Amino acid sequence: MSAKDFVFFFSPSPTTMLGTALVLLLVYFFSSHNQECGKEPPGPRPLPLLGNILQLDLHKPYNTLCKFSKKYGSVFTVYFGPKKVVVLAGYTTVKQALINQAEEFGERELTPAAMDISQGHGILFANGDSWKEMRRFALTNLRDFGMGKKAAEEKIIQECQYLIQEFEKYEGKAFDTKRPVNYASSNIISSIVYGSRFEYNDPQFQAMVDRVSETIRIMGTAAIQLYNVFPWLDNWVKSWRMMMKNIKMNIREIRGLIRHLKETLNPHMCRGIVDSFLIRKQKEENSGVLDSHYHEENLIFTVANLFAAGTDTTGTTLRWGLLLMAKYPHIQDQVQEELSRVTGGRQVGVEDRKNLPFTDAVIHETQRHANIAPIAIPHITSQDVTFQGYFIKKGTPVYPLLMSVLNDESEWESPHSFNPAHFLDENGKFVRRDAFMPFSAGRRACLGESLARMELFLFFTSLLQYFRFTPPPGMTEDELDLTPAVGFTLNPTHHKLCAVTQF
């Protein structure tokens, strides 16, 4: 972000400029005075109104924040425009806040973009009793419909076969893995939410998945960061208009799918989470429950949250895994040798994980190294809190810098390299690491973590059993780019791979 980038948005009159300057000088004086009191976390000195925006790379703010943490420590203040944010860096600090002091740091910051997306309903961007009830409901039903159980394993293994068939269509020629991989991961959460999967060539399904991916990408752009700071820019920001168009279209599609399920609802045969919600909603209405959380808005946005999270995070991580195998063929060799030795070519199951330590380590290292959520979805303090000697006021936005946890130099031997040995002991056995925190932690940790872990293991191993992944013809492994694309989650930049059958 530069002054030139920012100037476009403003064209004030001389009188307005004079009045604004006086106000901002007062703001600047008081903000400087507060920092001099030493009560608040340190940080770079902000400019009036702009804060530290001109010092931040708004396309990749996590990089700037990591640099700030080296200068100002693991708890520091940064200003996004006039908005003061406390950033938490490093494993020890993030763990202390999200786990040890979960109550104080457990609320969600509802930015303008977050409110546009969910209007305070659902799970991801909600607080209070409604959030607690929707999270409890979603977690219970995810488990009831198979998360972490044999039922989910069977769904994923079936979907693996569909994905393998899709890859086979390319006959070893280079192709973009994004859509088929996203469709496969989306089908797992769709089967749990709606009670059935979609065909990969279903235009409605394709459009929903593609819009979700595009919306998540847009949410990480500099334009949306600026909109969150200055929401009056809304209609001037093209990215915001695109995001809202996608959201409205997906909500319309979700309403239609829910309407169809409602018309065919059988209270004695629950097909998925939507059915379960509709049945609960009907019971509460019949019982005359006042202020029920089981209303249409919570259903729509809970479904939207589950669909988006279940599609993007797993699909993105799996694509990183395949790209890394093509980038590092010697590691792909070791994975395939272990798979062949342990399974003999049969379908891998969840129970095989304990006998596949190297493969398990590669999957975990992919999650760590890919670092797809460099900043956890912003939190906000629920009360005044003293944290590591600093005073943080109630209502202060808090950014847990997960990237700094997954790359913590005091926790990882070679944090900036792809090194599966991070998860192996001297005897080659898999070891868990406390600083492995790709799903965040505490009250706001990903509620589908166990499902995502199962998906990653089964999809990755099934594909590696069947295919050899290589760069496109004429490209070497060294030329494969591991630079992430800009987005709310970090996808690989556009690339193609060859999936060559091993039989």
Q: Which amino acid is at 244?
A: M
Write down the pLDDT at residue 140.
Answer: 93
pLDDT digits (tens, 9 = 90+) for 53-66: 999 998 899 999 99
| Angle at the Cα of 155 from the Cα atoms of 151 and 160, rounded to 5 degrees | 145
Question: By CB neighbour count within 10 A (0-12 exposed, 13-18 middle, 19+ buried), where does 316 fall?
Answer: buried
Look at residue 298 and tell me whether its pLDDT is greater than 90.
yes
Write down the pLDDT at residue 469.
Answer: 98
Write down the pLDDT at residue 169.
Answer: 96
Tell me what the mean pLDDT of segment 285-297 comes to.
90
In this predicted model, which residue has the larger pLDDT, 233 or 200? 200
Tell me what the mean pLDDT of segment 66-85 comes to.
96
Tell me if 116 sits within 8 A of 228, measured CB to CB: no
On whether residue 131 sits in a domain, the answer given is yes
Question: By CB neighbour count within 10 A (0-12 exposed, 13-18 middle, 19+ buried), where does 172 fall?
Answer: middle
Enter the pTM of the model: 0.91
Write down the pLDDT at residue 237.
Answer: 84
On whether residue 491 sits in a domain, the answer given is yes
138-157 residues labelled b (16+ CB within 10 A) or e (exposed): beebbeebbbeeeebbebbb
Look at residue 9 and tell me whether its pLDDT is greater than 70.
no
Q: What CA–CA distance (Å, rounded) separates 60 from 225? A: 10
Q: Which two tokens stand for residue 262?
A: 């409602």
What are the two backbone dihedrals, phi and then psi, of residue 223, each rounded to the nearest 5 degrees? -60, -40
DSSP letters along 12-72, please? Answer: --HHHHHHHHHHHHHHHHHHHHHHHTT-S---PPPBTTTBTGGGS-TTSHHHHHHHHHHHH
Tell me if 486 sits within 8 A of 60, measured CB to CB: yes
Long-range contacts, stretch 74-79, CB < 8 angstroms, 24+ apart: 74/388, 75/41, 75/387, 75/388, 75/390, 76/41, 76/42, 76/43, 77/35, 77/40, 77/41, 77/42, 77/43, 78/43, 78/44, 78/51, 78/52, 79/31, 79/43, 79/46, 79/51, 79/52, 79/53
Could you tell me what percent of the chain has a pLDDT over 90? 83
Write down the pLDDT at residue 468.
Answer: 97
What domain range includes position 228? 120-323+458-503
pLDDT digits (tens, 9 = 90+) for 178-214: 999 999 999 999 999 999 999 999 999 999 999 999 9
What are the two backbone dihedrals, phi and then psi, of residue 136, each rounded to the nearest 5 degrees? -60, -45
Q: How many domains does the chain have?
A: 1
pLDDT digits (tens, 9 = 90+) for 109-118: 999 999 999 9
pLDDT band for position 351 (50/70/90)? very high
Report in angstroms the alpha-carbon separations of 446 from 123, 139, 440: 10, 10, 7
On whether residue 391 sits in a domain, the answer given is no
On whether residue 18 sits in a domain, the answer given is no
Tell me if 137 sits within 8 A of 272, measured CB to CB: no
- CATH number of the structural domain spanning residue 170: 1.10.630.10
Tell me the pLDDT of the chain averaged across its residues. Answer: 90
In this predicted model, which residue has the larger pLDDT, 291 or 479? 479
Write down the pLDDT at residue 147.
Answer: 73
On whether residue 175 sits in a domain, the answer given is yes
Write down the pLDDT at residue 30.
Answer: 43
Tell me what the mean pLDDT of segment 250-268 comes to.
94
Look at residue 26 and tell me whether its pLDDT is greater than 60.
no
pLDDT band for position 338 (50/70/90)? very high
On whether residue 487 sits in a domain, the answer given is yes
Look at residue 478 and tell me whether its pLDDT is greater than 60.
yes
Write down the pLDDT at residue 288.
Answer: 83
| Angle at the Cα of 407 from the Cα atoms of 225 and 431, rounded to 5 degrees | 130
Residue 286 belongs to what H/E stretch? helix 273-286
pLDDT band for position 47 (50/70/90)? very high
On whether residue 67 sits in a domain, the answer given is no
Q: Which amino acid is at 92?
A: T
Q: What CA–CA distance (Å, rounded) separates 147 from 155? A: 10
Beta strands 385-387; 379-380: pairing state: unpaired
Write down the pLDDT at residue 184.
Answer: 97
pLDDT digits (tens, 9 = 90+) for 424-457: 999 999 999 999 999 999 999 999 999 999 999 9
On whether residue 228 sits in a domain, the answer given is yes
